[in-house]
Amino acid sequence: MALQSLDIKRMSATTVQPPVARSPVTGTVAKLIDVSKCIGCKACQTACMEWNDLRDDVGSNFGVYDNPIDLTPQSWTVMRFSEVEKDDGNLEWLIRKDGCMHCEDPGCLKACPAPGAIVQYTNGIVDFAQENCIGCGYCVSGCPFDVPRISKVDDRAYKCTLCSDRVAVGQEPACVKTCPTGAIVFGTKEDMKTHAAERIEDLKSRGFENAGLYDPLGVGGTHVMYVLHHADKPTLYHGLRANPKISPMVGLWKGAAKPLALAGMAAAAVAGWFHYSRVGPNQVTKVEEAEALDAARDIKGERKEDHHEA
C-alpha cells in the first residue's frame, strides 16, 4: 500500500473548509479482523500497549478470560470471549477483538462540541486530538460501539488511533504486525473487501453458510471490519450490534437541530440589530438586574438537580 497523507477530511465542531486539493490515490484504508482465525492470544493487546506507550493496571480475574475486563484509556483494544452452544451440542468459542471501528460516519465526531478534538483523515481513520478535548464525554454517548473512554488522569477521551502514526509512514497498525495467525490484516478498504470475500467463500465451503462481512451501513461502513462465521447473528460475538446507528440525540443535536439553532441565533442577532437601530441600547434598571440574578440562581439550582438524577 502506498504511503498515506494525514490530510483531514472532517473536524469536530468547526466549519473550516478542509483541504480538498488531493485525496488518497489508493482510496481509504481498512483493518480486517477474521474472527474465525483468532486464537485469543492477546498479542494484539500487547502490541497496542507497546506501540502506543500504554500500561494498564495489573487487574484481577473476573471469572473469564477477558482481561482487562473492558476498554480503558490505557487499553484501546481488548479481546471479548463468548462461549456459544450450538443446536447440535457442539461448542463454539467466539473471540472478538474489540476496539474503535473507525466509522465512515463517526458518531463521536458528530457529537463532539470541542473544535478539532476529533478528526477524520481522508484515509478514513478517526483520530482523537487530546490537546483539544474538553472531556465532556459526548463522544462516548455518540459512539454506537461504546468505545471511547475518558481518562481520570486528565479528563480527556482516548481510543484506538488505528496507529495513524504508523499508517502515515506506510506501516500497518501494531496489532496487525504482531498477529501470529494472520487473523488481522490491513490495506486499502477495497483490497480488504476482496480478501474478506475469499475468506467468506472458504468458510462457506467449510459449512459456515452464514459467513459474511461486518461493515455496517448504519454508520456509513467502517474502516475496521470483521469476517464473521455467523454474520447473520453478530450479537453472538459478545453483543456486537446488528444494526449500529448514531444515537438519534446526536442526530438531533448536530442534524436537524443545528440549522434550527443557527437560524435562531441569526434571528436573535437580526432582531437585536433592529431593536438597537430603532429603540436604541438596552437600559437595565437595578430592579431588573436583581430579578435576573435570582432567575439565574434558580436555573443553576435546577441544573444541579438534573445532575443528581443523571
Q: How far is the CB of 54 from other proteins (least distance, A)?
A: 9
- Identify which range of 44-52, 122-130, 219-227, 264-272 contacts other proteins by CB under 8 A: 44-52
Residue 45 CA, chain-centre distance (Å), reads 18
If 0-12 CB within 10 Å is exposed, 13-18 middle and 19+ buried, where does residue 76 land? buried
Pull the grid cell for residue 281: 441600547
Q: Is 83 in the site for other proteins (CB under 8 A)?
A: yes
Residue 205 CB, nearest distance to other proteins (Å)? 16
d(CA 103, CA 135): 21
C-beta separation of 105 from 251 below 8 A: no
Instruction: Please tell me whether residue 289 binds other proteins under the rule CB under 8 A.
Output: no
C-alpha Rg value of the chain to the nearest Å: 24
Phi first, then psi, for residue 174 (nearest 5°) are -60, -40
Q: Closer to other proteins at the Cβ: 57 or 87?
A: 57
SS3 assignment, position 32:
strand
Q: Is 40 in the site for other proteins (CB under 8 A)?
A: yes
Q: Which stretch binds other proteins (CB under 8 A): 50-58, 191-199, 212-220, 234-242?
A: 50-58
> 39 or 299, CB closer to other proteins?
39
Which part of the chain contacts other proteins (CB under 8 A), choosing from 16-24, 42-50, 192-200, 283-291?
A: 42-50
Compute the distance between CA of residue 144 and CA of residue 250 in angstroms, rounded to an integer: 11
Q: Check binding of 207 to other proteins (CB under 8 A).
A: no
State the nearest-atom distance from the C-beta of 238 to other proteins, in Å.
15
Window of 61-69, 110-118, 134-142, 208-216 that interacts with other proteins by CB under 8 A: 61-69
With binding defined as CB under 8 A, does residue 52 bind other proteins? Answer: no
- Binders in 88-107 for other proteins, by CB under 8 A: 91, 93
Among 8, 10, 26, 65, binds other proteins (CB under 8 A): 65
Nearest approach in angstroms of CB 60 to other proteins is 5
What residues numbered 212-251 form the site for other proteins, per CB under 8 A?
none
- Per the rule left: phi > 0, alpha: psi between -120 and 50, beta: everything else, 163 is left
- The reply to whether 151 sits near other proteins by the rule CB under 8 A is no
Please select the residue that binds other proteins; options are 2, 20, 21, 58, rule is CB under 8 A: 58
Sign of CA dihedral 68, 31, 40, 175: negative
Tell me: does residue 68 bind other proteins (CB under 8 A): yes
In the chain, the DSSP E strands lie at 8-11, 29-34, 77-85, 91-99, 118-121, 126-128, 149-150, 157-158, 184-188, 212-214, 224-228
Classify residue 81 by its DSSP letter.
Answer: E
Distance CA 163, CA 254 (A): 28
The site for other proteins, by CB under 8 A, has a size of 26
Q: Are strands 29-34 and 224-228 parallel, antiparallel or unpaired?
A: parallel
By CB under 8 A, name the binding residues for other proteins. 39-42, 45-46, 49-50, 55-65, 67-68, 75, 83, 85, 91, 93
